[in-house]
Chains A and B, each alone.
Chain A
Amino acid sequence: QSALTQPASVSGSPGQSITISCNGTGSDIGAYDYVSWYYQHPGKGPQLMIYDVSYRPSGVSSRFSGSKSANTASLTISGLQAEDEADYYCSSYTKFNTVIFGGGTKLTVL
């Protein structure tokens, strides 16, 4: 199975909104509403930001939101802040009872 497809990089200015896409197939993103998003600061471990397409774990800012349409999931960050600069990874549960990650997107806050 190939990794989910994410843009290598996105950027935005403080206060703006950005969206990161995550493209999969009918065997993963399109099959279930089990898409997650992770934040990873360089040198640190991943942190769950969104699960089950659009749910936020306790403690995650409401500026982060998730959605899905067919085989594509999206993460939107509104009111961009400097501290949002990090790598973001999507993941999806698959028909094969496995999990697949995206290649990661580097977010730069200008």
Chain B
Amino acid sequence: QVLLVQSGGEVRKPGASVKVSCKSSGYTFINSDLTWVRQAPGQGLEWMGWLSTYTGDTNYAQKFQDRVSMTRDTSTNTAFLELRSLRSDDTAVYYCAAKVATLGAPNDHFDLWGPGTMVTISS
């Protein structure tokens, strides 16, 4: 079964960091880039950036450039999102997503989504 499985919900204090994982199964991990999208409560979807699971190259949204890292472990088919210097407006569901059914550039749409990880920032 083609799946993305994400780590469980997290609670952090302002200023802290959080690392969310996304493990793939059922397809070849390095064939599909991995994208992270977040959704604040009651708000829309926000693209955070993508990770080449093959090379490790990344492309981050400008607003997150200085405090986000996207990495992967090809031995476990797992991608990671780390967000630092957390603020209250980082409270959101964080999704990993991939384009699996249609391969090739660009990484423009996502037909496989993880269930989401709720990250709550609260003092």
Q: Does A51 contact B (CB under 8 A)?
A: yes
Q: Does A89 contact B (CB under 8 A)?
A: yes
Contact present for A57 and B113 (CB under 8 Å) = no
Contact present for A57 and B44 (CB under 8 Å) = no
Interface residues in B7-43 (C-beta closer than 8 Å to A): 35, 37
Q: Does A101 contact B (CB under 8 A)?
A: yes
Q: Which of A34, A36, A101 contacts B46 (CB 8 A)?
A: A101
A40 contacts which chain B residues (CB < 8 A)?
45
Contact present for B44 and A46 (CB under 8 Å) = no
A58 contacts which chain B residues (CB < 8 A)?
101
Contact present for A57 and B106 (CB under 8 Å) = no
Contact present for B110 and A48 (CB under 8 Å) = yes
Q: Does A12 contact B (CB under 8 A)?
A: no
Contact present for A34 and B95 (CB under 8 Å) = no
Contact present for A47 and B113 (CB under 8 Å) = yes
Give B109 Cβ to nearest chain A Cβ, in Å: 4
Contact present for A46 and B113 (CB under 8 Å) = yes
CB-CB nearest in chain A for B35: A99
Contact present for A101 and B45 (CB under 8 Å) = yes
Query: What is the CA–CA distance of A99 and B55 in the complex, to the nearest angstrom?
Result: 20
CB-CB nearest in chain A for B115: A45
Give A59 Cβ to nearest chain B Cβ, in Å: 10
A97 and B106 in contact, given A48-B111, A51-B111, A57-B101 (Cβ under 8 angstroms): yes
Query: What is the CA–CA distance of A97 and B60 in the complex, to the nearest angstrom?
Result: 10
Contact present for A45 and B45 (CB under 8 Å) = no
Query: What is the CA–CA distance of A98 and B110 in the complex, to the nearest angstrom?
Result: 13
Instruction: List 20 contacting pairs A-B, 8 Å CB cutoff, sorted by A.
Output: A3-B44, A34-B109, A40-B45, A45-B114, A45-B115, A45-B116, A51-B108, A52-B108, A57-B111, A91-B45, A93-B106, A93-B108, A97-B59, A98-B61, A99-B50, A100-B47, A101-B37, A101-B44, A102-B44, A104-B44
Binding site for A on B (CB under 8 A): 35, 37, 44-47, 49-50, 59, 61-62, 95, 97, 101-102, 106-111, 113-116
